[in-house]
């Protein structure tokens, strides 16, 4: 049985951000990667809520709050770095990004996305990935990557109805 994901429980969200940045610093140090100030700031912005954030949303915050004149390609390069190194996931249906809860190891993402508030909860269920790979193999298909996006209502939005 799954425990209730932290995104759907009341919690100190600054702890999520701090933890994610610490993990990113450690991962980059271990792998000899350069977590530039801009990459780190983009990761921080992505983690500031459990809602996926688009590149242009990030760009707007960078110019409004930080006074940076970052161009879209700069933000996309930072997001590409974070994606390539497992620090964020891309939610295709929303064309947005969300912080990865488990950057310490490679895995396929499964997400529960609230259609009302757009909160996204990452699951990491190997059995789901294994089932997809097995079904694909049965029809002669080789899976190169997978992201499962399930749309519904989070507990908070269910209670508000």
Q: Is 100 annotated as a binding residue?
A: no
Question: What CA–CA distance (Å, rounded) separates 14 from 66?
Answer: 19
Which of 72, 69, 19, 66 has its CA nearest to residue 47?
A: 19
Question: What CA–CA distance (Å, rounded) separates 16 from 98?
Answer: 12
Q: Is 114 annotated as a binding residue?
A: yes
Question: What CA–CA distance (Å, rounded) separates 145 from 133?
Answer: 10
Question: What CA–CA distance (Å, rounded) separates 115 from 54?
Answer: 16
Q: Is 117 annotated as a binding residue?
A: yes
Question: What CA–CA distance (Å, rounded) separates 70 from 58?
Answer: 10
Q: Is 28 annotated as a binding residue?
A: no
What DSSP line would sit under 45-79, residue for residue?
A: HHHTSSS-B-HHHHHHHHHHTS-----HHHHHHHH
Annotated binding-site residue numbers: 114, 117, 154, 157
Annotated binding-site residue numbers for Zn(2+): 114, 117, 154, 157
């Amino acid at each position: 049985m799954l425990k209730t994901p932290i995104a759907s429980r009341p919690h100190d969200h600054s702890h999520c951000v701090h933890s994610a940045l610490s993990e990113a610093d450690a991962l980059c140090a271990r792998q000899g990667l350069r977590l530039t100030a801009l990459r780190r700031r983009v990761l921080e912005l992505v983690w500031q809520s459990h809602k996926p954030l688009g590149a242009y949303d990030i760009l707007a915050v960078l110019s409004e709050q930080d006074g940076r004149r970052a161009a879209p390609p700069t933000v996309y390069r930072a997001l590409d770095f974070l994606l390539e190194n497992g620090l964020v996931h891309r939610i295709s249906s929303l064309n947005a990004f969300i912080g990865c809860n488990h950057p310490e190891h490679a895995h396929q993402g499964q997400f529960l996305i609230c259609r009302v508030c757009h909160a996204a909860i990452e699951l990491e269920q190997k059995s789901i990935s294994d089932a997809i790979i097995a079904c694909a193999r049965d029809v002669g298909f080789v899976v190169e990557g997978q992201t499962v996006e399930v749309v519904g209502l989070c507990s908070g939005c269910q209670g508000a109805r």
